[in-house]
């Protein structure tokens, strides 16, 4: 529905997917993982896993290619946080994105009201 928006929502309605990937990577301590490995363990589609890993540099870092494979790890700052702190951070980021969406919707509605109010007197 909102595919025409110039805004890319990285966290809104995707927190559970990101947390699943995060928990999967926490289980494999000190091990870099390929998106295919994560997809197999979590049951999330490979394309979605790769997209989430690339779009969340706050949690995941892309390692240099070795043997032609791109692997990811949890960032140092994310590994220093507890799971509850990470969940809270993701919740706040999703909430901020929701506020941006609501602000954009309010602006569009206000513009429509202004247009209607300028047309009505001329009728």
| Structure token pair of residue 114 | 């202004």
Please tell me what DSSP assigns to residue 74. Answer: E
Within the chain, residue ranges assigned H as helices are: 15-27, 35-42, 46-55, 76-80, 83-119
Let me know: does 59 contact 78? Beta carbons within 8 Å: yes
Overall pTM > 0.75: yes
Residue with tokens 């998106």: 35
Domains and CATH numbers, the chain: 15-122 (1.10.10.10)
| pLDDT value for 64 | 84
pLDDT in tens, the chain (123 residues): 555 656 678 888 899 999 999 999 999 877 889 999 999 999 999 999 999 999 999 999 999 887 888 899 999 898 899 999 999 999 999 999 999 989 989 999 999 999 999 998 887
C-alpha torsion angle, residues 82, 85, 90, 93 (rounded to 10): -140
């Amino acid at each position: 529905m909102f595919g025409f928006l110039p805004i890319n929502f990285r966290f809104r309605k995707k927190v559970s997917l990101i947390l699943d990937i995060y928990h999967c990577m926490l289980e494999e301590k000190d091990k870099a993982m390929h998106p295919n490995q994560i997809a197999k363990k979590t049951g999330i589609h490979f394309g979605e896993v790769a997209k989430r890993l690339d779009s969340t540099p706050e949690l995941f870092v892309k390692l240099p290619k070795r043997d032609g494979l791109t692997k990811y790890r949890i960032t140092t700052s994310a590994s220093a946080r507890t799971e509850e702190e990470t969940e809270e951070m993701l919740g706040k980021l999703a909430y901020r994105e929701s506020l941006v969406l609501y602000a954009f919707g309010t602006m569009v509605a206000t513009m429509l009201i202004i247009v209607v109010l300028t047309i009505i007197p001329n009728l």
